Chains A and B, each alone.
Chain A
Amino acid sequence: KQEVTQIPAALSVPEGENLVLNCSFTDSAIYNLQWFRQDPGKGLTSLLLIQSSQREQTSGRLNASLDKSSGRSTLYIAASQPGDSATYLCAVEAQGGSEKLVFGKGMKLTVNP
């Protein structure tokens, strides 16, 4: 059974720091890995999707990498801002026909001004 882990569960940093968020998964048979952002009381917003054949994806200050063989992904946030404060979730789409996402429990990020 695929399991996705995000450690730590929470992180508090001063504004301007470069951040690395970690995600690990147990089964490398995935179609893709997706990073989401969730603001309090809101839905999930897709940030980046990395296909299983790709190594990384970039969008603005965000860069996500994927090492499928070791079951790891990182989300890099450059020059963090208070507006980056949110919960970040990673999810893998497992191979096998159901196309379902398996989520980590998320990491709550607080960026202090």
Chain B
Amino acid sequence: NAGVTQTPKFQVLKTGQSMTLQCAQDMNHEYMSWYRQDPGMGLRLIHYSVGAGITDQGEVPNGYNVSRSTTEDFPLRLLSAAPSQTSVYFCASSYFAGSYNEQFFGPGTRLTVL
């Protein structure tokens, strides 16, 4: 198993540009989520999905869109990048199976918005 994979690893954008961060998992996990990690703020939930076709907002959803057309993939779209979106983005997945719900994280995407 490759686990949770994310592409790209690094990205530099100009203000106003759009892009999609890719996330895929090969563990047949139902639950997938996106977090951003900022110094002094910890990890904060952006969006999550409990299965194909179902998504919902987390703590900091503004400026981001998601979709879940397959179990494996959960892309995160930045509609119009802003410097405040400079961050490290992590995708995570887990089984949707009650209290034993170990979450697995991807390696992250480092995004800089100029």
Contact = CB atoms under 8 A, between A and B. Distances in A.
A89 B43 CA distance: 10
B96 A99 contact: yes
Contacts, number: 63
Interface in B60-109: 90, 92, 94, 96, 98-108
B30 to A, nearest CB: 9
A46 interface: yes
Interface stretch (A13-21, A69-77, A78-86, A103-111): A103-111
27 contacts: A32-B99, A32-B101, A34-B102, A34-B103, A36-B105, A42-B108, A43-B90, A43-B105, A43-B108, A45-B105, A46-B102, A46-B104, A51-B100, A89-B42, A93-B101, A93-B103, A98-B48, A98-B56, A98-B58, A100-B45, A100-B48, A100-B58, A101-B43, A101-B45, A103-B43, A103-B44, A104-B42
Interface of A: 31-32, 34, 36, 42-46, 49, 51-53, 89, 91, 93, 98-101, 103-106
